[in-house]
Amino acid sequence: MTQVDPFHVDILVAGAGAAGLSAAIALDQAGFSVACAGLIDRRANGRTVALFEASLRFYKSLGLWPRFRDKAAALEKIAMVDATNARFRAPSVSFAASEIGLSAFGANIENNVLVDGLAETAAARSRLALCQSLIEDICFDDDDVRATLADGRRIRAKLVVAADGRGSLARTRANIDARSWTYPQVALTALLAHAKPHRNISTEFHTRSGPCTLVPLRPHGEKLHRSSLVWLMSAADAERRRNLAPGELAREIELQVGGLLGAMELDGPCGFFPMAGMSVAKLFGRRIALIGEAAHVFPPLAAQGLNLSLRDIAALVETLEDARADGKDIGAAASLKAYGTARRGDISLRTNGVDILNRSLLTEFLPVDLMRGAGFFAFSMIGPLRRALMREGVLTHQTLPRLMQARPRRGAVATGG
């Protein structure tokens, strides 16, 4: 894109993480002129993204999934194990994608690999301005949005899509209130190589400090068996483990998961992330729409984070396409109302559900243990309930946006491949 100072676009995407880059590419492909501003974080920190079926459909609709398919591991089964040492232990539960007609629930990919690929795709789009600079200031007027970047460039747009994280400058400047809270937990993230195959099974151990989850990864070089780890623990335990030698930390992980995958070694640097939650008063305003962690934050249980953000993006693209087709101003609050209506229920369900599950693990109150155990038993024994839970996790009960609706080839069944 030829840039003048200031340069004008239909939409400014604030933030260049996985959500911001995905939004910029989707909006560009929908025919809007787009600028995406933010620093691209390509660091390897042990974080991965489990993309469920609806998210794979999103990337397939954009023509992006072939770029990532061979770098991701299929998630064919999900197992949940009660490791709380509660007096009444909940039964283990296993879910298979085949029960709901899918070959896999989705696929797991390293976060930096996904961001790298999205950034390269965005940079190659001739009409998309990828500005690798933070937004320093942003002002909302009746007719447009004016942003100044840290490198001095200025951008004017009809709409800003805030994908700039939980501390969103765009959200703050738009005077949209956010409510934040913290949890007494830190998440340890790591990539692991191990002796035994994962068999495309993701296993989540529910402990008194939170979940400890192993998620399949693709082989890399001579390391044939690999998984990612997200382990929630107390701040004190996190600080102690941060100072362990790699071999010592690997042994503690082996012990925590009961030797499920055999001998382990760390396959790269680890990350430590304090756990928090956040919700916003509204998802849109005059000339702004919130997506991703600018709109919702919760602990990494059930791999809902980026999947929820991609549903935000798909719904927003649909809202803006419809507004444009009707000749409406895409930045007007009235045009964005359909986006807020489409997303509020899904976001509330995930935020509250994850909060309740996480807090239930942290308490040793017997009635809570009994309720959790009863839930696990029901999911284990009642087939329709199991299948409903699985579908809700990977597709949601609501009508999916157009970018996430299945478009199977003739004679084929849409899968997580």
Q: Would you say residue 237 lies in a domain?
A: no
Q: Would you say residue 153 lies in a domain?
A: yes
Q: Would you say residue 251 lies in a domain?
A: no
416 — pLDDT class (breaks 50, 70, 90): very low
Sheet with 48-52, strands from edge to edge, namely: 48-52, 106-110, 73-75
| Cα(372)–Cα(355) distance, integer angstroms | 14
383 — pLDDT class (breaks 50, 70, 90): low
Instruction: Determine the pLDDT at residue 100.
Output: 87
Q: Would you say residue 222 lies in a domain?
A: no
Q: Would you say residue 406 lies in a domain?
A: no
415 — pLDDT class (breaks 50, 70, 90): very low
289: left (phi over 0), alpha (psi -120 to 50) or beta: beta
Mean of pLDDT over the chain: 88
Instruction: Determine the pLDDT at residue 1.
Output: 43
In sequence order, which residues have a C-beta less than 8 Å from that of residue 414 and are 6 or more positions away? 53, 57, 102, 406, 407, 408
Q: Is the pTM of this model over 0.85?
A: yes
**Domain span holding position 280:** 7-180+276-397
Among candidates 312, 391, 298, 301, which has minimal Cα distance to 345? 312
Q: Would you say residue 407 lies in a domain?
A: no
Q: Would you say residue 390 lies in a domain?
A: yes
Q: Would you say residue 55 lies in a domain?
A: yes
CATH code for position 303: 3.50.50.60
Instruction: Determine the pLDDT at residue 42.
Output: 86
Q: Which ranges of 135-285 would DSSP assign to H, the alpha helix? A: 169-173, 235-242, 246-256
pLDDT tens digits along 268-312: 999 999 999 999 999 999 999 999 999 999 887 656 789 999 999
In sequence order, which residues have a C-beta less than 8 Å from that of residue 258 and are 6 or more positions away? none
Domain count, the chain: 1
